[in-house]
Structures are given as C-alpha cells and as structure tokens.
Amino acid sequence: MGDVKMTCEGRVAVLTIQHPPANALSSAIIEALDVQLTKIEADSEVKAVIIHGEGRFFSAGADIKEFTQVSTSEAFSHLSRKGQAVFNRIEGSSKPFIAVIHGAALGGGLELAMACHLRIAEAGTAFGLPELNLGLIPGFAGTQRLSQLVGLPKATEMMLTGEPIRAEEALKWGLINRVTEEGIALEQAKQLAQLIAEKSAVSVGHLLSCLVEARQGRYGQGMEKEALSFGEVFASQDAQEGIQAFIEKRKPQFKDI
C-alpha cells in the first residue's frame, strides 16, 4: 500500500515516500502526503521540508495498475484534480519544499518534484513525462509546470517524445537547481534546508507567496503583491531585528514574528 513517513531534524521536516519498488504515486500515497502536509502547516517549529524517495527511485510515476480500476472519464478527472490539489498545497506553502531526486522522477514523480520550490538531483537521474507512451497525458499539472520551468518548446519536445533527460541536461534547462555526486544529494539538501531554516519564517513566507505570482506569470499582480508584502514584512519584529543586527555587525536572532 505504501506510506509517506515524516521525521524532523531540528527545524527541518523530512518526508520519505515508501512505496517500493518504484514509489509509484498511488491514491493512497497522495492521500498520505496530504495528511503530512496538514501536520507540517500546523507545526510552527518546521521551517523547511525535504521530500525524497526510499529505495532505487524518487518516484517513477503514477500507479498505472490503479488506472485499470478507474472505469469512467469523470473518475479519472477526479484523480487528476486530487493530485493537482495536493501538489498545489506544496507550491503554495509558506514553507520551502526541497525535492531530493535520485534514480528517476518520471510522470507523477516529476510532477511532484516540480511542485517543490527547489530540486536537487544525483548525477544520472532520469527526468521525464512519458505519459504519451501509454496513450495518456500528464494529469498532475505536468503540462503547466514543465512549460514554466524549461520553456514551451523544450517541454513540448519532452512530452511529445516521452524521452527522458538526465540530471546534467535538466540542470542546463533549469528543471533542477543542483546536481550532486551519487549518494550525497540528501545530505546537501539537509544543509540547504538548515540554512533556510535560519531565516525568518515571516519573510520566507511572504517571499514564497510573491513567487507564486511569478510562477504563474502574473507580472503586474506580482509587483503589487511584492509591494504589499514589503511593507508587511518591514513591520515585523524580525525585520527590525535583522536591520539592527546588520548595523551592529552581528547575526540576527529571528523569532518568526
């Protein structure tokens, strides 16, 4: 059946997809992820989140066997909307999510990774949306997010051919942020997450909210959102602490207020 396990290391939550052998994103896994997201949102101690997969892959896609149990187009659309809604929670979170990717991120697995704010991958990892090879199309917002990240021409090529690209090419196209040697991506992600966790949760949350506007291409609305957030963040105690710490040449002590 599979599960999504959560552990905490300081202010960083680590979500581990446990659905061998391929960590397929079944309805049960998506539901388990949704449950963990609710816990993370309610926990003020958590300031950054890592998602990774146990075993050989980050996630090699949706659970294709489960598709055989869906009998109507309406039910299939419902499955798509559920996945989209959960992944939208990640993208719209006030806490940064880092996908740590090894082996493969294909289909739904890549769609999950693209919903995260940052992506770190091990060398040689395969990325792709091969749904057309099955006579299907991406259903968890892959058509939208891949186009935003790599540009429409490259996204169109990847989806029409169904052929994966490797981590090194994914880095060149802006699909991922970093490529590491095999076996060290998770440790690098933890270091990055701890660095982010030192920042004020107030400013991080406002920044991510502004970036949602940027990712969705709403330039004018994004500028207005930025201006409003700029003022709201300035009024926070953390901003005053940060400014004072800069003047006094010391490290700020943020309290997330």
User: Averaged over 200-222, what is the pLDDT?
Assistant: 93
Confidence of residue 207 (pLDDT cuts 50, 70, 90): very high
The pLDDT of residue 2 is: 80
pLDDT reading at 1 higher than 80 = no
The residue-averaged pLDDT of 193-207 equals: 97
| pLDDT(29) > 90 | yes
Judged against a pLDDT cut of 90, whether residue 6 lies above it is answered with yes
- How many Å apart are CA 199 and CA 146, to the nearest integer? 29
Helix H or strand E segment including 112: helix 108-115
Q: With 90 as the cut, is the pLDDT of residue 228 above it?
A: yes
- As annotated, the active-site residues are 111, 131
pLDDT of residue 175: 98
pLDDT of residue 69: 84
pLDDT > 70: percent of the chain: 100
Assign domain 3-197 to its CATH superfamily: 2-enoyl-CoA Hydratase; Chain A, domain 1 (3.90.226.10)
Q: Give tens-digit pLDDT for 48-75.
A: 999 999 999 999 988 888 888 887 999 8
Predicted local confidence at residue 75, as pLDDT = 86
Cβ–Cβ under 8 Å, residues 74 and 39: no
* Identity of residue 148: Q
- What is the rounded average pLDDT of the residues 29-40? 97
Please give the sequence-ordered ranges of beta strands (E in DSSP) within the chain, or none if there are none.
3-9, 12-18, 48-53, 97-101, 104-106, 118-122, 126-128, 165-166, 178-180
